[in-house]
């Protein structure tokens, strides 16, 4: 209203000035700039309600989320404060105001927030930390205020006594204050969020619960994490084998599976996959089956889909005959060393180019490990070095194809040093010199390279046999590799 009055006065003054013969173009320009800026702030300062409001009744429930049993259990315990609102009030318990979901991308944090809304029968508004940051001072704070007002009005409109506000990527909005020296808008927005969370009343008509998600909790301002704001922190980690199996069952319920499909074997072969990866895996397997004209998805489609998810689509670039044989020797070296140090670990060896990889040895993890011994880390280094050592023994020299292998070997060797497992003993990562670390890393890698050389020299003929078969077939299974190696042992 005030803006309209001022606009009317400005227009009248401009007409009067023009009547007196005064140049009014600067005034007109300033008026236009003021109107444009005012329009941008007004329209971009508000959180677009239609975009962010989700009806949880049409979304997922906790039963639809696999591989996160521990996180779901912790989340339900916290949500019971919202469900049993009257009971906890009688006990004098202060309801929680915020729940922080922490975990890698693709583990289901957004799904958990939507399921929480359905579990508590709450209105649900979803937004992202990046939506609050603008170049205009005060816009982010205005959006935060509007977000909480919208949550309350939406809950009243839907006849519910609770609302959940979900903020994804909260590390953008809630980064430690003072880290953006040239942009105080970040700090103002965070301050407003803290004020709104402090102002949440649990005895009003609508109970507000804030659920936020991040994969970088170390970046968050300590004021956000203190009791009375984000009271609970729930870790949403990568699923283990049983969790992956559960997720695969969920994402294959609506897909025609062949009789040879073994989901447990697929779960075993997808160590390190998140829920998003597994959903994509099932989708890619269905696409491959459609390409083949198969009425159902077969085990071979899932196996090829695993390689595609890890490495990408097959490349159109074809190596020369000489390059192809070198790649085959390289991958055969990885595979034979892998079988030597971890019997039964190789699932597939392929020299079909995918993405930036010219070849690949996929290992089937039998169990998920949370900690590693020095011996296990040394075995990983030996497998990484198997390719380049094989090239030296068979072809007489190395190639640039070993660059990623060396990088991986060095990273693992540094882990050995910094965890106190090397001959240096316990070291301070900040105080030890780079030269000392480099010297110890070189010693570790050189000693293990000598061990790899001994293994491959002993199986040199089998190395060449596997390489020739790879060049001819382009891919062989771990079972075929073990058949070749076991035949050698019988003859010996």
Nearest C-alpha neighbor of 249 from the set 69, 62, 65, 58: 65
Pair 136, 181: CB distance under 8 Å:
no
Considering 131, 284, 331, 440, which one is annotated as catalytic? 331
Rounded-to-integer distance, Cα 308 and Cα 373, Å: 31
Residue 377: C-alpha distances to residues 143, 275, 352 (Å): 49, 27, 28
**Strand 98-102 versus strand 123-128 pairing type:** unpaired
Dihedral angle sign, alpha carbons of residues 313, 317, 318, 324: negative
Tokens for 483? 């058949």
> Which stretches within 158-204 are classed as H helix?
170-173, 185-198
Q: Is the dihedral of CA 283, 288, 289, 291 positive or negative?
A: positive
Give the orientation angle of helix 374-395 with respect to helix 460-473, to 10 degrees. Answer: 80
Catalytic residue check, 158: no
Do residues 238 and 104 make contact, with C-beta atoms less than 8 angstroms apart?
yes
Query: What is the rounded CA–CA span in Å between residue 145 and residue 117?
Result: 21
Helix (H) or strand (E) holding 126: strand 123-128
Contact call for residues 97 and 231 (beta carbons, < 8 A):
yes
Parallel, antiparallel, or unpaired for β 53-54 and 123-128?
Answer: antiparallel
The helix or strand, by DSSP H or E, that contains position 346, with its residue range, turns out to be strand 346-350
Q: How far apart are CA 81 and CA 383, in angstroms?
A: 51
Residue among 304, 362, 363, 359 at smallest CA distance from 471: 359
DSSP 257: B
How many residues can be counted in the chain?
492
Q: 180 — alpha (psi -120 to 50), left (phi > 0) or beta?
A: beta
Report d(CA 194, CA 98) in Å as an integer. 11
Q: What pairs with residue 234 in β-bridges?
A: 101
Q: Give me the sign of the Cα torsion angle 317, 322, 328, 331.
A: negative
Residues with Cβ within 8 Å of 313's Cβ and at least 6 positions away in sequence, in order, are 354, 355
- Kindly list the catalytic residues: 331
């Amino acid at each position: 209203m005030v803006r309209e009055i001022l606009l009317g006065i400005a227009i009248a003054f401009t007409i009067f000035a023009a009547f007196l013969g005064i140049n009014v173009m600067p005034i007109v320009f300033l008026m236009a700039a003021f109107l444009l800026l005012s329009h941008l702030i007004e329209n971009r300062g508000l959180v677009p309600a239609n975009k962010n409001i989700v009806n949880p009744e049409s979304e997922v429930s906790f039963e639809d989320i696999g591989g996160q049993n521990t996180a779901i259990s912790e989340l339900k315990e916290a949500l019971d404060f919202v469900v049993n609102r009257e009971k906890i009030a009688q006990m004098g318990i202060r309801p929680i105001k915020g729940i922080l979901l922490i975990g890698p991308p693709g583990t289901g944090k957004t799904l958990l927030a939507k399921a929480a809304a359905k579990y508590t029968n709450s209105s649900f508004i979803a937004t992202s930390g990046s939506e609050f940051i603008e170049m205009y001072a005060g816009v982010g704070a205005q959006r935060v205020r509007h977000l909480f007002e919208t949550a309350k009005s939406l809950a009243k409109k839907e006849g519910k006594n609770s609302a959940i506000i979900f903020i994804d990527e909260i590390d953008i909005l809630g980064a430690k204050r003072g880290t953006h020296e040239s942009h105080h808008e970040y700090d103002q927005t965070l301050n407003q969020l803290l004020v709104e969370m402090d102002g949440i009343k649990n005895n009003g008509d609508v109970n507000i619960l804030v659920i936020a998600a991040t994969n970088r909790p170390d970046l968050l301002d300590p004021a956000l994490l203190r009791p009375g704001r984000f009271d609970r922190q729930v870790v949403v980690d990568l699923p283990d084998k049983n969790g992956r199996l559960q997720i695969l069952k969920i994402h294959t319920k609506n897909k025609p599976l062949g009789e040879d499909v073994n989901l447990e074997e697929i779960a075993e072969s997808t160590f390190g996959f998140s829920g998003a990866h597994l959903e994509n895996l099932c989708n890619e397997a269905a696409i491959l089956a459609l390409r083949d004209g198969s009425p159902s998805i077969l085990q071979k489609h899932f196996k090829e889909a695993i390689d595609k998810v890890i490495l990408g689509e097959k490349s159109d670039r074809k190596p020369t005959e000489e390059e192809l044989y070198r790649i085959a020797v390289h991958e055969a070296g990885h595979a034979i060393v892998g079988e030597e140090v971890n019997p039964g670990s190789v699932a597939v060896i392929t020299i079909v180019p995918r993405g930036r990889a010219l070849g690949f040895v996929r290992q089937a993890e039998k169990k998920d490990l949370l900690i590693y011994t020095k011996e296990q880390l040394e075995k990983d280094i030996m497998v990484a070095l198997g390719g380049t050592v094989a090239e030296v023994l068979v072809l007489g020299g190395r190639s640039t194809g070993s660059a990623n292998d060396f990088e991986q070997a060095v990273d693992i060797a540094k882990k050995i040093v910094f965890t106190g497992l090397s001959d240096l003993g316990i070291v301070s990562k900040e105080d030890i010199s780079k030269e000392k670390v480099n010297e110890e890393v070189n010693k570790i890698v050189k000693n293990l390279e000598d061990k790899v050389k001994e293994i491959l020299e002993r199986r040199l003929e089998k190395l060449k046999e596997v390489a020739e078969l790879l060049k001819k077939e382009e891919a062989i299974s771990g079972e075929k590799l073990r058949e070749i190696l076991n035949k050698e042992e019988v003859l010996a």
